[in-house]
């Protein structure tokens, strides 16, 4: 069976979103990253013009998990949709449905949102995990106009919340390395990481 979907999970600040965009462009496939966030927001009737004061409060546990799960490649963006009070299980079910619909259509690169876990049983999916040294992730986040402290805090907390979400809903320790076909250190450079992914993808495709 030919590979028709690539999922790309990533450490926060590793540049995984940018790498996924380049991979999708090279393959001529559809990128589901910010577009996926927008589709989720549309189906859940989200208010993307959230009240600013909520951003300054420490979220309840499930809100932190939800935001970590939904955050797209525009990592650290102040424009990410903020979600109204919705049931977390309802969100998870919607995401699962959307991701599977995308996979059924094929020719797609899906970034995060648990896609590697939802599609783990598909033989036409290729799963990639992008990581980077902590200092490199902090450096990347600072390029998004984050202070040293903000970048450090984000690099430390977002992945921790993602891990809690994956543990809660999939009963595995994030990232659960054995489910990925390839793990790439983006510290080698984005373009090099893209070439590594495409070469590995091509070799795996020939073996199918």
User: Which two structure tokens, joined as six digits, stand for 92?
Assistant: 């998870």
Per-domain residue ranges of the chain:
5-207
Between 3.40.50.720, 3.20.20.70, 3.40.50.300, 3.30.70.100, what CATH number should domain 5-207 receive? Answer: 3.40.50.300
**Residue 139: band (very low, low, confident or very high) from pLDDT cuts 50, 70, 90:** very high
Given a cut of 60, is residue 54 above it in pLDDT?
no
pLDDT (0 to 100) of residue 36: 82
pLDDT (0 to 100) of residue 55: 25
Which has the higher per-residue pLDDT, 49 or 94?
94
SS (H, E, C) the chain: CCCCEEEEEECCCCCHHHHHHHHHHHHCCEEECHHHHHHHHHHCCCCCCCCHHHHHCCCCHHHHHHHHHHCCCCCCCCCCCCCCCCCHHHHHHHHHHHHHHHHHHCCEEEECCCHHHHCCCCCCEEEEEEECCHHHHHHHHHCCCCCHHHHHHHHHHHHHHHHHHHHHHHCCCCCCHHHCCEEEEHHHCHHHHHHHHHHHHHHHHHHC
* Closest-CA residue to 200 (of 181, 185, 187): 181
The tens digit of pLDDT for each residue in 160-190 reads 888 888 888 899 999 999 999 999 999 999 9
Given a cut of 60, is residue 3 above it in pLDDT?
yes
Q: What percent of the chain has pLDDT over 70?
A: 77
- Give the Cα separation of 143 and 139 in Å (integer): 7
């Amino acid at each position: 069976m030919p590979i028709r979907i690539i999922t790309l999970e990533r450490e926060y600040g590793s540049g995984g979103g940018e790498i996924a965009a380049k991979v999708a462009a090279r393959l001529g496939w559809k990128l589901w990253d910010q577009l996926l966030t927008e589709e989720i927001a549309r189906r859940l009737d989200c208010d993307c013009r959230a009240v600013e004061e909520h951003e300054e409060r420490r979220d309840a546990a499930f809100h932190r998990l939800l935001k970590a799960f939904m955050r797209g490649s525009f990592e650290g963006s102040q424009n990410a949709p903020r979600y109204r009070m919705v049931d977390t299980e309802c969100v998870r079910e919607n995401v699962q449905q959307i991701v599977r619909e995308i996979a059924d259509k094929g020719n797609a690169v899906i970034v995060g949102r648990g896609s590697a876990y939802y599609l783990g049983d598909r033989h036409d999916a290729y799963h990639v995990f992008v990581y980077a040294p902590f200092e490199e992730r902090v450096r990347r986040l600072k390029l998004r106009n984050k202070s040293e402290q903000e970048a450090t805090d984000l690099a430390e907390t977002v992945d921790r919340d993602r891990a809690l979400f994956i543990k809660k809903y999939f009963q595995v320790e994030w990232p659960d390395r054995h489910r990925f076909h390839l793990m790439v250190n983006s510290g080698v450079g984005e373009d090099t990481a893209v070439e590594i992914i495409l070469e590995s993808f091509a070799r795996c495709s020939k073996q199918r």
